[in-house]
Amino acid sequence: MKKYKNIIQNRKDASSKLRDVIPMQRLKDESWNLVAVSAGGLELASHIRGEFFNVIDFLFSEPILAPRNEDCEIARVSEKEEIVINEQLVGAFEIQYDYIYGEARRKHEEKILSYIYKYRKGRHFIDVEDKVVLLIDDGSETGFKFMTALKTVLVQKPKAVYIAVPILPSDILEQLEPFCDDIFFLYDIDDYVKTSLYYKEFKDIDDETIEKLLEEKQ
């Protein structure tokens, strides 16, 4: 882990380096839709877009946690109510699917809908049918956010779906590759620990910044 600690300065640095591996001319000419899967990914998306006028949106999702372990994410639900489940964990903990679907409904009603009204003023997630989509995050510890976003976006039948992420675990990279057209990344790490450890500066994104980024050049 020491080899990779603090290898990225901040999200602006990460996005600058990602612009070197993303085909930026295609991104502009084909009007790719930039879709963040986290608040940090939203900041990255804004920096990646830079002077271009591509649409940016935030696909909201919420974790579903194990009944007696709030540190263990067993599933995730998106704002379109698509659910991705870690079947191995569910089986190991003998968790009932009724619990997962019940929690998914609760998280959608109590959390996700409030995000939609707060940050997007009630606007629905963008229509990506026949569009090229670039899913963006500042890191990926479990791959849940990307898998949930992929499932949600692919239902809409986009033209193509790509992923941009500065750093992610090697095994998550392998899991994601079959479900998207390409993955643009800087580092894949075998013994991935926690995303913040790989950044020198990893600030939380406040509500005001999220609202501002979603309003920029839309």
Nearest to 157 by CA among 135, 112, 120, 127: 127
3-state class (DSSP) for residue 114: helix
Q: How many CB atoms lie within 10 A of CB 18?
A: 20
- The pLDDT score that the predictor gives to residue 93 is 87
- The pLDDT score that the predictor gives to residue 2 is 58
- The pLDDT score that the predictor gives to residue 54 is 96
Q: What contacts 24+ positions apart, CB below 8 Å, involve 114-119?
A: 115/60, 115/79, 116/60, 116/79, 118/207, 118/211, 119/58, 119/207, 119/210, 119/211, 119/214
- Per residue of the chain (218 residues), what is the pLDDT tens digit? 557 888 999 999 999 999 999 999 999 999 999 999 999 999 999 999 999 999 999 999 999 999 988 889 999 999 999 999 999 999 988 999 999 999 999 999 999 999 999 999 999 999 999 999 999 999 999 999 999 999 999 999 999 999 999 999 999 999 999 999 999 999 999 999 999 999 999 999 999 999 999 987 55
pTM, two decimal places: 0.95
Indicate the domain borders of the chain: 11-59+126-215, 62-119
**CATH number attached to the domain at 11-59+126-215:** 3.40.50.2020
**Cα(first)–Cα(last) distance of the chain, in Å?**
39
Q: Residue holding tokens 């600030």?
A: 203
Q: How many CB atoms lie within 10 A of CB 2?
A: 5
Q: Residue holding tokens 């510890």?
A: 141
